A and B are shown apart, each in its own frame.
Chain A
């Protein structure tokens, strides 16, 4: 017969919160973890302090020439001195106020678009107005503004112009291509597929070479295409194919019932696509579209190979200045920093959008 025996109480569990528990759970859980943690800490102590010393503690910030550099670290005076090159390229110094106005206009536009414009029509108006104002401000040649030829554009300005024009133009073309690829009409479908797969299979750099070498041959004699326009044509051609794939992904996510419902309401093909399918498809496609915009922003750096002076090419140009020889490292770090801010910012923004649009009614 079983006899009841009182057992002594087990010890209370060690506390499951607090710093010590966190450390134990996240850094020192197993012997292997302990070893890896110490290894990583060792490497971090080898790498991080020298890096911080170079970028901040031993760096020189004050002064205006190379000789003013006092520390043994980075010479940020170089970046300070060349900041207008990095931002605007060879844009005439006395015209820079136009670009500063443009920054203000951009902010006003964002506020107008987000908070003031209520109806779709107003939003479209604000959206279309922006590139026109921006073009007039940058290019000039009208309203009493001096014309600045495109070969003077450079730096971050050029990178942003190419990215913006590329993405804005390629979205409508991409939508048409995506419709084409989903079409029931065999000719249109196959033409779209061939175009998209061709572009996607070829590196951007060969397309840019094609733009700079072959494109002039395709036009009538006497038609002058400047380098920027050639690059823009090629980049729009390429991006349209990528955009169309993102939108096709969105189209495929739309349940068939939506198409059938639109058909049964008696909508025409274009009514069906624009009023019913596209708004839903775009919502699904937006994260991918932002991803493509990030890719495009990074890929604009390739235009330096065909001789445009974008942000990346400024590293080479500015550090070739005889007053500032040997400053390439600072240039690369600074440019890396700018690219990181833009790309990381865009990817964060896409996450916010994804959350906002996630109505999840499937």
Chain B
């Protein structure tokens, strides 16, 4: 009998990451810019999405994958805005995974989609670990949650490219400093692009949707130049 040590050095999520890479390739081949929205429950993901799709659906072809632990409530709310929506009920699962997203994308015509929103399960911890093949992660934080959320849940803020602060119309009623919250977020991730929004008053939504449209345009331009440069 002999003992042996084997260096494995394999990422725990390597199988999941491989599937996410396949999703990313599918999205890129179709020129789809995909945003993975992550936040605590109740921070306003669905409401922000409703306002966002109303502002963008005339100019871009949108799609949504809406995840929830139970019910199709979020998906039903978004369907009323007359855009393609696929619902994922995780049935207890605390995050979306690449397998679920890959399956739900079967229900969307990616060749007719410019911008895809993946609304993750409301949870500021688990979803940040799972690559879904998105173009980027966007983390939401509502002003009622407290300024120190980025320090308490650093993984979500570290892995996101964008922070959207929501419900800013409530700031006058709270002891909450937007500057301090942003400072905490930038302490974890200095490269974050930050939008301060209120889905109730509409504040900041033009900047947020303008930025999204810009990302789609850059993707289309790069894809176009890549194709014309080919044989």
A, B: real partners: no
Using CB atoms and an 8 Å cutoff, list the residues of chain B in contact with chain A: none
